[in-house]
Each structure stands twice: as structure tokens, then as C-alpha cells.
Amino acid sequence: MIDIDFDNLNEEAVYKAFHIDGNESEALNDSYLELFELIGRDAMLKLFKYFRGDKIDCPMRLYRAEYIADLARQTTDRRERAKIARAGGYTVKFIEGMLSKRRKENEIE
């Protein structure tokens, strides 16, 4: 028999009541199983609690282009700028284009 306290119902309590520990591959939906394997039970349950029903879009780049451009602006060496751009997932041409656009906008003001 499954013992669930409906007055204190939460994802972790249900996880324990359903005896999911060790049975994740049979119990969890594929997406949550993948998250469980990737980030662990607690983080997977936290994502479920806050984002269930939502579609989560994970952009190809972790960092904003503006932030990378600000970092690259600190050096005038094109090779260093290229390293910064590549580390952020951008091309140096794109980052320098952003910097050039900013300079033009600042000249107009």
C-alpha cells in the first residue's frame, strides 16, 4: 500500500511514496529520465516543480553576444578578440560587427 500524506504533498514525497529510487528507468518519462541521469534527482525534481508543462528552449550559446563584445572590446589585439569570441561561441567577425555598430551609434549621439 502506498502511504501519501495529501496535506504535505510535494514532488519528493511522491517520489519516495512511489518507491522510484532505483526504478527511475521504468517510472520516469523519457525527458525526466534524461534529466535525472544528467543532473541528478534533486535538480530534476526542482526543474519539474518549476517548469512542468513549459517548453524550455536552450539556446546554442550560453553567453549573450553583448557581454562577449564588452569583453572583446577590452583588447585591441585581433587574435585575443578572436579567442574571446570563439570561447563565447561567436565568430570574431560577428563580435567586431557589434562593436563597430556600437561605435557608429555612439558617434551619432
The reported pLDDT for the residue numbered 92 is 94
Q: What size, in residues, is the chain?
A: 109
The reported pLDDT for the residue numbered 67 is 96
- At 74-87, the pLDDT tens digits run 999 999 999 999 99
The confidence band for 13, taking pLDDT boundaries of 50, 70 and 90, is confident
Mean confidence (pLDDT) of the chain: 91
pTM of the model: 0.69
pLDDT of 4 over the 90 cut: no
- At 82-108, the pLDDT tens digits run 999 999 999 999 999 999 999 998 888
The confidence band for 37, taking pLDDT boundaries of 50, 70 and 90, is very high
Question: CB neighbours of 48 closer than 8 A, spacing ≥ 6?
Answer: 11, 32
